[in-house]
Chains A and B, each alone.
Chain A
Amino acid sequence: MSSLTLYASDVAALMRKDLRLELRARDTLPAMLLFVLSTLVVFHFALPTGTSDDAAYGLLWIAIVFTALLGLARAWAPEREGGALDGLVLAPCDRSAIWLGKTLAVFVFLTAAELVALPAFALFFAPVDLVAIAGVVLASVGICAVGSLLAAMAAASRGREVILPLLFLPLAIPLIVGGVGAGISPQGATYLSFLALYDLIFAILAWATFEYVITE
């Protein structure tokens, strides 16, 4: 097998492991689904009648980012129990595969939450067009790529519940700007390009630095 095939096989095995753990424990995805839905319901009643769609899109992104944060905070919990992360670090696979497997698993969970959030948003607030959906997908890639790296950093520290939001939220601001822009701006394609560029840069950075984040 070529090294690329082996790498893809490692990533797939690590992602499958996370999906299997979630299917068994069910302690991340249900919380994300309930959170995003209840947040949108609360926003629906909190917003005054006649509020513009632009403002509503901002609230959609608040719901998405904090739902992602909820998932990211739990992302490395299985690795913390029993020192499984050390087991992965010792394995002779490329350590970036650990990050990529985790990123893909978190992306699956976040996409599931968004599959609930977007119809709910369309029902309560405003229709969602294809450019807005593309914005959600691209921003989600960035959220998961950066978030998985930062969550791994936070997981190693005592104050992980505080550290993760402090690290993640500032880096998520460009994603919120891009996501909201793709939803409300007539130049939605420009915002999509911006999100794609963010994803590319931060995915490469996270891929390259993960090894140094998880080793002492």
Chain B
Amino acid sequence: MTALDLDEVGFVVRGQGLEKRYGRKRVLRGVSFALPRGGFLVVTGANGAGKTTLLRLVAGLAAPTRGVLKVTGDRRDLGFVGHEPLVYHELTALENLELFGRLYRVADRRERSGMLLERFGLWDVRSDRVSSYSRGMVQRLALCRALLHDPALLVLDEPFTALDENGAGVLDAELASVAGERTIMLSTHDPARIATLATDRLVLA
């Protein structure tokens, strides 16, 4: 398939020959993939294979050293969950979502924040500082932040990390509800968990 064909069939993310170096260290080599609108790409690979780096490239947090990466849409269309929660530890969950909701121009951010906090089991601790949360609760908040503006493209780097069974179940349900409508790129060490939702798989060596 040529580059033009890839664009014509509506690919949201397309990478060709992606390479990323940090100094002399090459963390990603010759990665090519295409993710169509509504697709669900699972990225797997051993520790250090470059999953996080690839997802950071797609999110726009880093630039490839070599290769072409095309992501349709702008920053408003992207929801990202990384290794870190990307929230302020000394703000409460509500204050974090209010701040990011404002920056993402979410019109009904209070209602949407409340709905997400309720869904992810954080409503009762909404006014507590994030620094008092457990690792799993922080991960739930990170998911709330990523979903707050209802993004068209979700880039999730090992989103099940630190979640207990209940939290993982909520995320399973959330992914199932948006799969097909939203484009999703997710890295995991447990691809079996989302095997029924995934439309494609990229294995990094």
Contacts and interface: CB of A to CB of B under 8 A. Distances in A.
Interface in A6-63: 6, 9-10, 13-14, 17, 20-21, 24-25
B145 interface: yes
Given A17-B91, A78-B90, A86 B104 contact: no
B104 A84 contact: no
A215 interface: yes
Among A9, A25, A78, A84, which residue has the most Cβ atoms of chain B within 10 A?
A84
Nearest to B79: A90
B176 to A, nearest CB: 25
A41 to B, nearest CB: 31
Contacts of A84: 86-88
A91 interface: yes
Given A13-B99, A13-B103, A20 B86 contact: no
B78 A90 contact: yes
Contacts of B89: 78, 81-82
A88 interface: yes
B5 interface: no
Contacts of A89: 61
B41 to A, nearest CB: 19
B74 interface: yes
A87 B61 contact: no
Contacts of A17: 88, 91, 95, 99
Contacts of A6: 105
B180 interface: no
B40 interface: no
B102 A10 contact: yes
A25 B90 contact: yes
Contacts of A14: 99
B193 interface: no
A91 B78 CA distance: 9
B61 A215 contact: yes
A104 B91 CA distance: 19
Contacts of B59: 90
Among A6, A20, A81, A90, which residue has the most Cβ atoms of chain B within 10 A?
A90
B82 A83 contact: yes
Interface string B89-121: 111000100011011110000000000000000
Contact of A82 (B88, B95, B100, B102): B88
A21 B96 CA distance: 11
A24 B90 contact: yes
B86 A90 contact: yes
B71 interface: no
Contacts of B82: 83, 86
Nearest to A24: B90
B48 interface: no
A106 B156 CA distance: 34
A21 B90 contact: yes
A115 interface: no
21 contacts: A17-B88, A17-B91, A17-B95, A20-B91, A20-B95, A21-B90, A21-B91, A82-B84, A82-B87, A82-B88, A83-B86, A86-B80, A87-B86, A87-B100, A90-B59, A90-B75, A90-B80, A91-B103, A92-B75, A92-B103, A215-B62
Given A82-B84, A82-B130, 12 more contacts: A10-B102, A17-B95, A17-B99, A20-B91, A20-B95, A24-B129, A82-B88, A84-B86, A86-B61, A86-B82, A90-B59, A216-B63
Interface of B: 59-63, 74-76, 78, 80, 82-91, 95, 99-100, 102-105, 129-130, 138, 145
Please give me the 6 A-B residue pairs with the lowest Cβ-Cβ distance, nearest first: A83-B84, A87-B86, A91-B103, A216-B62, A92-B76, A92-B75
